[in-house]
Amino acid sequence: MNLSHSDLNGLHVAIIMDGSGRWARMRGLERTEGHRAGVETVRRVIAAAPDLGVSTLTLHSFSSGNWQRPPQEVERLFGIFEDFLFAEPTLWIGRGIRLSVIGRRDRLPASLLQTIEYAESATGGCRNFHLRLAIDYSARHAILDAARRMNAADTADSEAEQELFAHLLGQAEGEAVPEVDLLIRTGGEQRLSDFMLWESAYAELYFTPRLWPDFTGEDLSEALKEFHLRDRRYGALATAV
Ligand code: IPE
Ligand code: IPE
Ligand code: MG
């Protein structure tokens, strides 16, 4: 199987953190209050993940489609990301958490870009856990971008080709994209919304109605319990029982 794995031994969990706007509206609050509350969930999930056997966590934070939202919501979201990425690295360094941001960088405001670069370089030497935030991320864009860089001369056999492609896909991050083991979406929608389309080829999918600000470490543990009950066959036959 020509899958690329992260250099860490644990699982790669990817989460589409959805439902924060509805969470806020249900309380008569502005949607952005839901995004703010969602930051606490991010902290909870990062704290819970390592003890659950997770070593790579990719969190969908802002999709390229989200540019269609009102500019004020986008601006506030970027402000929340910036505050978060400025405040957390000190804590992350102590826990060996390395941060990478995936997605397009050419359309982000300069101050957010600077904070991303600060957080990535501050945690660059950390080796216990890999936290990846997807900002201005579109899987289709990432795939097209990698395809454009794919050299026809390097495509002699399909296994090598897939490996090369995974490297090209992760080129912006400087490393191959890791396969997703478990993909969780909160907020009740059952779709991928252009997230990790290549990396999730054999991911187990887990959908929960829980709105993101209400999601807890216990919920993550439940999702992983279910994941461990699944039979991942990769197209082969089930292991004999
Ligand atoms: C997901 O929550 C977070 C972002 C897209 C930034 P939403 O903002 O989509 O919340 P709902 O789906 O409207 O409740
Ligand atoms: C996906 O949620 C993007 C993030 C969670 C960052 P959306 O709320 O934007 O997705 P759709 O519009 O329901 O597909
Ligand atoms: Mg949504």
pLDDT digits (tens, 9 = 90+) for 89-101: 999 999 999 999 9
Query: Per residue in 35-58, pLDDT tens?
Result: 999 999 999 999 999 999 999 999
Pick the atom of ligand 1 nearest to 63's CA.
5
Q: Read off φ and ψ for residue 57, nearest 5 degrees.
A: -130, 120
- The region that residue 213 occupies, defined by phi over 0 for left and psi between -120 and 50 for alpha, beta otherwise, is alpha
CA–centroid distance, residue 116 to ligand 3 (Å): 24
Q: Looking up tokens 């478990």, which residue turns up?
A: 182
Band of residue 153 on the pLDDT scale cut at 50, 70, 90: very low
CA–centroid distance, residue 234 to ligand 2 (Å): 28
pTM for the complete prediction?
Answer: 0.93
How many angstroms separate the CA atoms of 203 and 143, rounded?
Answer: 17
Pocket of ligand 1 (CB under 6 A): 17-22, 62, 66, 77, 187
Band of residue 160 on the pLDDT scale cut at 50, 70, 90: confident
Taking a 5 Å cut-off on Cβ, the residues next to ion ligand 3 are: 18
Query: Per residue in 198-239, pLDDT tens?
Result: 999 999 999 999 999 999 999 999 999 999 999 999 999 987
Kindly report the number of other CB atoms within 10 A of residue 140's CB atom: 11
Kindly report the number of other CB atoms within 10 A of residue 154's CB atom: 12
How many angstroms separate the CA atoms of 25 and 186, rounded?
Answer: 16
Pick the atom of ligand 2 nearest to 62's CA.
6
Q: Cα 197 to the chain's mean position, in Å?
A: 12
Out of 3.30.465.10, 3.40.640.10, 3.60.21.10, 3.40.1180.10, select the CATH number for domain 11-228.
3.40.1180.10
Where is pLDDT greater, at 4 or 113?
113
**Six-digit token string for 218:** 């216990």
Strand intervals (E) in the chain: 11-16, 54-63, 97-102, 129-137, 182-185, 204-207
Band of residue 3 on the pLDDT scale cut at 50, 70, 90: very low
Band of residue 4 on the pLDDT scale cut at 50, 70, 90: very low
What is the structure's pLDDT at 154? 59
CA–centroid distance, residue 18 to ligand 3 (Å): 5
Where is pLDDT greater, at 179 or 163?
179
As annotated, the active-site residues are: 18, 66
Nearest CA, atom 6, ligand 1: 62
129 to 75, 92, 123, 221: CA distances (angstroms): 29, 9, 10, 17
